[in-house]
Amino acid sequence: MTGTAERAPVIRVGDKDNVAIAVAPGGLPAGTRLDDGTVLTENVPFGHKVALGDIEAGQPIVRYGEVIGTAAGPIRCGGWIRESAVRLPEPPALSELPLATRPAPATEPLEGYTFEGYRNADGTVGTKNVLAIATSVQCVAGVADHVAGRIRRELLPRYPNVDDVVALNHTYGCGVAINAPAAVVPIRTLQNLVRNPNFGGEVMVIGLGCEKLLPQTLMPAEAEGGSLLSLQDPAFTGFGAMVDGIMETAERHLERLNGRRRQTCPAADLVVGVQCGGSDAFSGVTANPAVGFAADLIVRAGGSVMFSEVTEVRDAIHLLTPRAADAEVGRALLREMAWYDDYLQLGGADRSANPSPGNKTGGLSNVVEKALGSIVKSGTSPIVDVLAPGERIRRRGLTFAATPASDFICGTLQLASGMTLQVFTTGRGTPYGLAMAPVIKVATNSVLATRWHDLMDLDAGRIATGEASIADVGWELFHLILDVASGRKQAAADKLGLHNALVLFNPAPVT
């Protein structure tokens, strides 16, 4: 799907669309005449939809060429389509979807693009060189934070090639139903987090000693010279001894990490995760299509792209199953959708609670409209694989990594899956950032990009104003990805040191 940017002040994406989006900052006043002759009968806020013809009660409301709902009552031509005017349709039935029916688009391989990365023994390539202090249980989080702070202040200055030290704190490990069926998700996530390419294969685990999640289960089989310390080890007399012991161990890892150097790697070694948060009606016509364009470039270069957020692709799943590379991948997509349907239903979740109030204020009527705008981040490549939450990436190309849409859980799961750089689009604005991998934030509209000039990395709002095409911004993003992955440019969140905590997905009970 590509947005054909018409002249401001409205954007209409698909030929069959009977709505358009008001893109003038401040919205459009009643009486505005659009290019197609439609005259606005009332004020339409920025980012909201205007009817391009009369829509009778029960008739479909079409955006992106897809039905986003039906009219709850008659909507007159030129009227503002409020959230309450749109009836939410049922999600596509999972039993009747075409699998792997769409031929892969004919594309040329993209050659000659490189970045400066840290190559690991297992062939993966990091974009940063970070000492990660893994923890097997939340009980040790206070100590891990304390030690990470001391390492940053006292040791890092002596190891200039090491970018950072991060404690992989979380809220799992004990006080949880460790044998419940769904416990596989958080455990797998923690096991794969330590293997993220940005940590250079140096594994250091701090446990308590009496936790349910045994610390040694976090030590990868392939880890050479990994270290494991438990605070309850009788060797540690008092807090001071614990800290000294951890610092000494950290120093061994820092020495090895410090010996590493960036080297020129093909763009094929990129593992980029894409995500959106705080979306608005522009997300689907500016930033997300540009991200999709860049995703296609990465795939053409032989690299890996992950897209995610089950609850935000669920209502557009009928557009994804045809893109599965084969029927098995298609069935895996359905499996993840069905798992989430059950999970939400068990918890009595109300599907209408997504979009958020802010999404709605931003002009997104419902989760169907949000989903249609969300999946364009995946570009047009075939989907070569599907990961259950927290599984490690297995194939190059475009992978669907199943995660909740929660920004922090999605980020954590993508890190576990091996993502080394994330692209994050936002329309309402969020100061999101991760310490473990750079996050490039793309604003969907220029109002946000201007106001949050130091929090956003790229302004895709220029697509709405006609200043740039989707391809322009897509290429710009692709080059920015290569620059940030090489350490040549810093993402806004990293410049400011704004980082969010990891959040595990634990669908099992706590005890």
Residues 433-472 that bind a second copy (CB under 8 A): 433, 451-455
Q: What's the min distance (Å) between Cβ of 362 and a second copy?
A: 7
Q: What's the min distance (Å) between Cβ of 457 and a second copy?
A: 13
Nearer to a second copy, 254 or 492 (CB): 492
Q: Under rule CB under 8 A, which residues in 314-373 are in contact with a second copy?
A: 343-344, 346-350, 352-354, 356-359, 361-362
Neighbour-count burial for 222-250, b at 16+ CB within 10 Å, e otherwise:
ebeebbbbbbeeeebeeeeebeebbeebb
For residue 389, state whether it binds a second copy (rule: CB under 8 A): no
| Span interacting with a second copy, options 62-70, 101-109, 227-235, 380-388, rule CB under 8 A | 227-235
Q: What's the min distance (Å) between Cβ of 5 and a second copy?
A: 25
**Tokens matching residue 167:** 């404690």
Q: Under rule CB under 8 A, which residues in 33-62 are in contact with a second copy?
A: none
Find the binder of a second copy among 270, 405, 419, 458 (CB under 8 A).
405
Nearer to a second copy, 373 or 507 (CB): 507
Nearer to a second copy, 19 or 508 (CB): 508
Find the binder of a second copy among 66, 164, 202, 211 (CB under 8 A).
211
| Span interacting with a second copy, options 99-107, 245-253, 289-297, 429-437, rule CB under 8 A | 429-437
For residue 275, state whether it binds a second copy (rule: CB under 8 A): no
Residues in binding contact with a second copy, number by CB under 8 A = 82
Find the binder of a second copy among 48, 396, 428, 462 (CB under 8 A).
428
Return the CA Rg of the chain.
Answer: 24
Nearer to a second copy, 75 or 364 (CB): 364
For residue 425, state whether it binds a second copy (rule: CB under 8 A): no
Q: Under rule CB under 8 A, which residues in 101-160 are in contact with a second copy?
A: 138-143, 146
| Span interacting with a second copy, options 100-108, 111-119, 401-409, 474-482, rule CB under 8 A | 401-409
For residue 177, state whether it binds a second copy (rule: CB under 8 A): yes
For residue 409, state whether it binds a second copy (rule: CB under 8 A): yes
Helix 287-300 and helix 470-485, axial crossing angle in degrees, nearest 10: 60
Q: Please give the torsion angle defined by the CA atoms of residues 265, 276, 437 and 300, in that order, rounded to the nearest 10 degrees.
A: -10
Neighbours of 326 (CB within 10 A): 13
Three-state secondary-structure class, residue 27 = coil
Find the binder of a second copy among 231, 287, 291, 423 (CB under 8 A).
231
Compute the C-alpha angle 59/68/368, nearest 5°. Answer: 150
DSSP state string for 91-138 = PPPGGG---S-SPPP------S-EEEEEE-TTS-EESS-EEEEEESSG
Q: What's the min distance (Å) between Cβ of 135 and a second copy?
A: 12
Q: Under rule CB under 8 A, which residues in 490-509 are in contact with a second copy?
A: 493, 496-501, 503, 505, 507-509
For residue 511, state whether it binds a second copy (rule: CB under 8 A): yes
**Tokens matching residue 425:** 């689009």
For residue 180, state whether it binds a second copy (rule: CB under 8 A): yes
Neighbours of 453 (CB within 10 A): 11
**Tokens matching residue 229:** 């310390």
CA–centroid distance for 165 within its chain: 23
Nearer to a second copy, 257 or 287 (CB): 287
For residue 388, state whether it binds a second copy (rule: CB under 8 A): no
**Tokens matching residue 369:** 């409209």
280 backbone dihedrals φ, ψ, rounded to 5° = -135, -175
Nearer to a second copy, 362 or 461 (CB): 362
Neighbours of 107 (CB within 10 A): 12
| Span interacting with a second copy, options 16-24, 175-183, 324-332, 417-425, rule CB under 8 A | 175-183
Round to whole Å and give the CA distance between 24 and 10.
7
**Tokens matching residue 389:** 């939450």
119 backbone dihedrals φ, ψ, rounded to 5° = -80, 135
**Distance (Å) of CA 247 to CA 152, 227, 229, 483:** 11, 12, 11, 33
Find the binder of a second copy among 37, 123, 160, 181 (CB under 8 A).
181
